[in-house]
Chains A and B, each alone.
Chain A
Amino acid sequence: MTCSNTTITKRLQPSLNSVPATAGQPLTLAALSINCGQPAGFESVQAGWSLARTVQGPVDL
């Protein structure tokens, strides 16, 4: 009840640090960004990608 200039910024979705995604399928991004009772403004998003390659059978790498 006496909150003063306290901000909280936190990723909410995806909930896990690494998530499987498929090209063309939407992925929900959500973040909490508040300053006491007020919104604290937009957050920027940086997406990093790593590709997992699935192989079957013995292969020479």
Chain B
Amino acid sequence: MYAEPNYVLHALDTPNDPSFPQQWNLQNNGQDGGTSGADIHATQAWNLTTGSPKVVVAVIDSGIDYPHPDLAANTWSNSAPFSQTIDGVSINCAVGTHGYNAITNTCDPMDDNGHGSHISGIIGAVGNNGVGVTGVNWAVQVMACKWLDATGAGAASDAITCLDFVKAMKDSGMNIVATNNSWGGSFSQAMSDAIQVQQQDGILFIAAAGNNFCDNDVVAVYPADFFLPNIISVAATNRFDQLAAFSDFGPQSVHLGASGQEILSTTPGNTYAVMSGTSMAAPQVTGVAALLAAQDSTRDWRALKNLILAGGDPLPALTQTITGNRLDA
């Protein structure tokens, strides 16, 4: 004989978005032949928080398809006109704009490539709205800064302009906790300096490790390989919790892995697409940084980074990273 409390049990929070079952990166039940549990454990995190519109993340990429039905509500929109001087250029943005375009020096970061919209959806496609997919955050504000053009290429100076824009907005009082940087190229001292300024402003810089299956300890990829404390460099894993065949790695340079192969997310024109790359892995980390900030607004960039690194799941496939961990929300 025994007696025990009759606890009330709850289902782990799952959203009603119709394509959620295809988002193995958030909840992997072995669908499509994958390995059950090889995911970032988003549903467990959602029992604690599903995000907050008070948290802002900046996507420095090809822009965002801000009218997209699964992005619009979570796209940052300025509530009052503002003026900033960025790199000596004075900009005046009207009410209701969504970021900055460093190519045209305008306030319109409309995506003409698709890469930035896909990343934005991974971080913050509106969750539980009965439409399409969900982001790591059901609610968040995604601010876009466009510097990659329609072909997916851009000038390093325009990326730095985006970092300067983010700094200006942070300094004006916006709660920007992280930037997502799913791009790479050559060393630039000016870019390193701009990322250091982000650190001084308390902003995490989350970067894709690269897609050449290279050891970044030996062949550096920037900005992921700048040795700066606010950077998190992210490798990609697949639905089997293996290092993706294309992913860069680095025992002393790549911090952790995150789901980055065959990722379903939003694309321009009210569409959805599957993409692969460390470009898709980095925003999983950016999304979790936003969740952690939503859970406890007193956490600074150091606490967010430490929790992301220490809170991951150790994987045999990720021994060639600093932590050996795959992201665990």
Contacts and interface: CB of A to CB of B under 8 A. Distances in A.
B309 interface: yes
Contacts of A13: 227, 252
Contacts of B269: none
B302 to A, nearest CB: 8
Interface in B250-264: 250-253
A3 to B, nearest CB: 4
Contact of B311 (A3, A10, A12, A30): A3
Given A11-B252, A15-B217, A15-B253, A1 B45 contact: yes
B291 A16 contact: no
A6 interface: yes
A8 interface: yes
Nearest to A10: B322
Interface in A1-34: 1-3, 6-8, 10-13, 15-16, 30, 32, 34
Interface residues of A, number: 20
A34 B252 contact: no
A30 B288 CA distance: 26
A44 interface: no
Contacts of B273: none
Contacts of A7: 310
Contacts of A16: 217, 252
Contact of B303 (A6, A12, A30, A37): A37
Contacts of B323: 8, 10, 32
B298 to A, nearest CB: 11
Given A34-B310, A38-B306, 9 more contacts: A1-B48, A3-B307, A8-B309, A12-B322, A34-B306, A34-B309, A37-B303, A37-B307, A38-B303
Interface of A: 1-3, 6-8, 10-13, 15-16, 30, 32, 34-39
Interface of B: 44-45, 48-49, 217, 227, 250-253, 288, 291-292, 295, 299, 302-304, 306-307, 309-311, 322-323, 329
Q: Which 5 A-B pairs have the closest CB atoms?
A: A3-B311, A15-B252, A37-B303, A34-B306, A37-B307
